[in-house]
Amino acid sequence: MLKTETPAQNHAQLDQYPTVDLVNVFADDQINAVGAVRAAAPHIAAAVEAALPRMEGGGRLIYAGAGTSGRLGVLDSVELYPTFSWPHERAVALLAGGASAMYVAVEGAEDDAQQGAADVRSVNVGKDDVVLLIAASGATPYVLGALREARAAGALTIGFANNADAPVAAEAEIGIILDTGSEVISGSTRLKAGTSQKIALNTFSSALMVRLNKVYGNLMVDFKATNAKLVRRAVRLTIFATGADEAAARAMLEQCGFHVKVAIVALSKNVSVEQAKALLESARGSVRRALGA
């Protein structure tokens, strides 16, 4: 039996626990998700390094999964644009059962390997793309179909699973095993298995964006200020990075469309917006290199 399906022996009387104990058991078990990701860190790092040249070459991140795993892939994909200005068309999520499965479970969709392959073909996966295959069991037919089609197309494949020797990890070019063991509620991989997937995907994509110069120091400097909260954030980050006062920071941001990267370089180097953009372009988007630091 898969570890993720094995009943947890230490919680056989779960339904009789006092509510406060019930809550503590669920919370405490999540700690194992962090441990599983830490154990997989070398493989996640290898995935980042392998994905980097493909992203620099114009490739896309493509997520494929079913159920909870697929929804977590969707979540990671949609968060990349507001956080890092990563283009929508370069973060594609394939979910068994289609877009409606984000809200309502589509029974049986995960069992269709042919549909997984068809979905990969439908987005014209190519050699510059990186396909992330996510499955707690590691053997979901939809995900395996997507994996095999992606490999045939020459894409880099990265498999995430929560069971050792999982086909999704074994058949992908880079396999990431998140060994979270049995769940407090037997087989409910929306618990710590899902948490570990969320952490691993977040870690992978965030580290990749750092390598793509979307971050300066530990500051989020490449986002779209599309609402009042983000405008305030842009001003704060510009002040923090440059030491400029609020009026100067806001004035420069208004000149460059609230692009924090450009404002930092322009204020720090005392150059025009156009000159700052040119410096960033020559530095491949790195604020640090544009500043000569």
Q: What is the CATH number of the domain that holds 225?
A: 1.10.8.1080
242 and 193, same domain (yes or no): no
Domain span holding position 55? 3-211
Place of tokens 């979307």: 214
167 and 283, same domain (yes or no): no
64 and 197, same domain (yes or no): yes
226 and 206, same domain (yes or no): no
160 and 91, same domain (yes or no): yes
pLDDT tens, N- to C-terminus, the chain (293 residues): 788 988 888 899 999 999 999 999 999 999 999 999 999 999 999 999 999 999 999 999 999 999 999 999 999 999 999 999 999 999 999 999 999 999 998 888 999 999 999 999 999 999 999 999 999 999 999 999 999 999 999 999 999 999 999 999 999 999 999 999 999 999 999 999 999 999 999 999 999 999 999 999 999 999 988 899 999 999 999 999 999 999 999 999 999 999 999 999 999 999 999 999 999 999 999 999 999 96
196 and 258, same domain (yes or no): no
The number of domains in the chain is: 2
Single out the catalytic residue among 110, 183, 246, 254.
110
Last residue of a domain, one of 184, 211, 238: 211
Last residue of a domain, one of 176, 211, 246: 211
54 and 156, same domain (yes or no): yes
Q: Measure CA of the first residue to CA of the last residue in the chain; give whole Å.
A: 54
Last residue of a domain, one of 211, 239, 272: 211
**Spatial distance between the Cα atoms of 267 and 178, rounded to a whole number of angstroms:** 44
Give the three-state DSSP class for 138: coil
Single out the catalytic residue among 49, 56, 79, 246.
79
101 and 206, same domain (yes or no): yes
96 and 229, same domain (yes or no): no
pTM of the model: 0.94
**Spatial distance between the Cα atoms of 74 and 205, rounded to a whole number of angstroms:** 13
Q: Phi/psi at 61 (nearest 5 deg)?
A: -95, 125
154 and 185, same domain (yes or no): yes
236 and 195, same domain (yes or no): no
Active site residue 110: yes
105 and 245, same domain (yes or no): no
Q: Residue 193 belongs to a domain with what CATH number?
A: 3.40.50.10490
DSSP alpha helix (H) spans, the chain: 19-29, 31-39, 41-56, 67-84, 113-122, 141-152, 167-171, 192-211, 228-242, 246-255, 260-269, 273-282, 287-290
**Spatial distance between the Cα atoms of 233 and 78, rounded to a whole number of angstroms:** 20
